[in-house]
Amino acid sequence: MMTFIYILAAILVLLIILYLIAPARYDVSRNILINRPPAVVFEYLKYLKNQDEWSPWAKRDPDMKKEYRGTDGTVGFVSSWEGNKEVGAGEQEITRIQEGSRIESELRFLKPWKSTSDAYIEVEPAAGDATRVRWGFSGQNGFPMRLMMLVMSMDKMVGKDFEEGLASLKTRLESKE
């Protein structure tokens, strides 16, 4: 019986050590250059409903159920979704708008697991009449996700989706000229 207790204690100590060395936070972002003026790009991006036109997750579940609360393009607007296993369920709320440069939102994932992340889209002028767009999100790794991040990378899990979405955004906005 004592052997079992020692093994159990050793496993517990190991889990605590791994938890302490695992990444506590994640921060993933990608950017792209869009050949459209910053004001045009920002005006399009501040409306969450427009994300359905370029989001990689909207493409993965075209039958996703969407609901909206509030006035799109303003602080407090909420877009909620419920979809297949690939997109899960959750909601996104605009929490801050710096006119012309940054839109911040809170992502609240409900399925397949609960978590909250801070998301943002930044717009800045680039050479000529182009715009650099940065799309990202960050948050805390709670238990058990923090332990999983020892063998997984949030950047690798989500980074490709951001690249795909930004490429779609570029195509959409540049075709509107």
Query: For the chain, where are the alpha helices, taking DSSP H only?
Result: 2-21, 38-45, 56-60, 145-148, 154-174
Closest CA to 81 of 91, 72, 73, 71: 91
Residue range 72-96, pLDDT digits in tens: 999 999 999 999 988 899 999 999 9
Greatest CA separation found in the chain?
A: 75
Domain of 117: which CATH number? Answer: 3.30.530.20
CA distance 87 to 155: 17
Q: What is the pTM of this model?
A: 0.83
Range of the domain at 67: 2-174
For tokens 């990608």, name the residue. 30
Residue range 117-169, pLDDT digits in tens: 899 999 999 998 999 999 998 877 677 766 666 666 666 777 899 999 999 99
Domains of the chain: total: 1
The mean per-residue pLDDT over the stretch 94-106 comes to 97
Rg, C-alpha atoms of the chain: 20
Q: 82: which residues sit within 8 A by CB, 6+ positions away?
A: 64, 65, 89, 111
The beta strands (E) that lie in 1-101 are given as: 25-34, 65-69, 78-82, 89-98
